[in-house]
Structure 1
Amino acid sequence: MKRQVLTDGTGRWFDREKATRFDEAREWDGRNWVSKATGSQWDHEELYRTKSGRWIRHWWSQWQGSTDRWEEVTEAEAVRWLLQNDYEPDGGDTGCHQVPDDERVTSLVLGLEV
């Protein structure tokens, strides 16, 4: 078990080994790999879907003295993050990653619900 405590001060936590992780997408700008999640070459994010269905965003930076943040986000925020980072409902032949196999998430991605 890898217990990860959220940094919101509530003491809540999730098991990283049982969660599904979604890595950020990056683009080469000619000089650096830039995070599509943050728009920065220094700041990064990844998203986790816990076993219970909660969404957790992990933010970290390469800047000296910065502190990692672990925070719960809404399902709508998670879907926006997935789309921004090249996750698609079907994955398909587009070279994109597939969104989680969850009917509600897929319907949000497809714009059937807001």
Structure 2
Amino acid sequence: MRTSVHTYDDDEYNPREQGVYVGHFEMDSATAYQEARDITGASVHPVPKYAHQTLYYTSGGRWVLRTSSQREGSQLRTEYIDAADAKAWLRRNQDDDVIEERFGQEPEEVGPRLGGRPAIGPKWEVRLDAEVRRRVAEYGQGRPRADVLRDLIVAGLAASTQA
């Protein structure tokens, strides 16, 4: 069965909003994950009372979230979501086996690093060709690359202001 997918003006579930068509998927070839419910029968996901969700993984590898409500006059909401939102949905649903199947095994522990060197400033990324990387490594003589690059940048800036 072909199912339409829409985008919506707001991030919050509005049972009367129609949405704008952005695509479709074949529900029969998608894998469905039903929401978990608490002891009262309510969804464990942040949806209004009487609303329920089903997450689909399509044959094309996309995630689709379908939200429905038992309230009269409400519209079915079907939208694409990214992998991070799908993973968060599955985590709230306590579907650890599905997370491992779709996203790979998670580390045993995740959290902020405690200890180590304090941050000096915001992170910058740069791409260097092989020859420049070789020269930086040679210049650094085994010192940490970040320290060597900082020293080279400071020295280069100092030389350019003296010229």
Pick the TM interval, shorter chain. 0.7 to 0.9
Specify which of 91, 108, 112 is matched with residue 83 of structure 1.
91
Identity %: 27
Structure 1: unaligned runs, 5 residues or longer: 92-97
Instruction: Write out aligned runs for 1:38-53 (5 A).
Output: 38=46, 40-53=48-61
Is the Cα–Cα contact under 8 Å of residues 33 and 41 in structure 1 kept in the other structure?
Answer: no
Q: Deviations over 1:63-107 (max 9, x none)?
A: 11110100000100000000001100xx4xxxxxx33623xx135
Instruction: Write out aligned runs for 1:62-77 (5 A).
Output: 62-77=70-85
**Residue 55 and residue 41 in structure 1: after superposition, are their counterparts in 2 closer, same or farther (change >3 A)?**
same
Q: Which structure carries more helix by proportion?
A: 2
Give the structure-1-normalised TM-score. Answer: 0.74
Q: CA RMSD in A?
A: 2.1
Q: Which has the higher contact order (CA 8 A, sep 6+)?
A: 1
Aligned to 1:56: 64
Aligned to 2:4: 5
Aligned to 1:23: 34
Q: Which structure carries more strand by proportion?
A: 1
Give the structure-2-normalised TM-score. Answer: 0.53
Structure 2: unaligned runs, 5 residues or longer: 8-19, 111-163
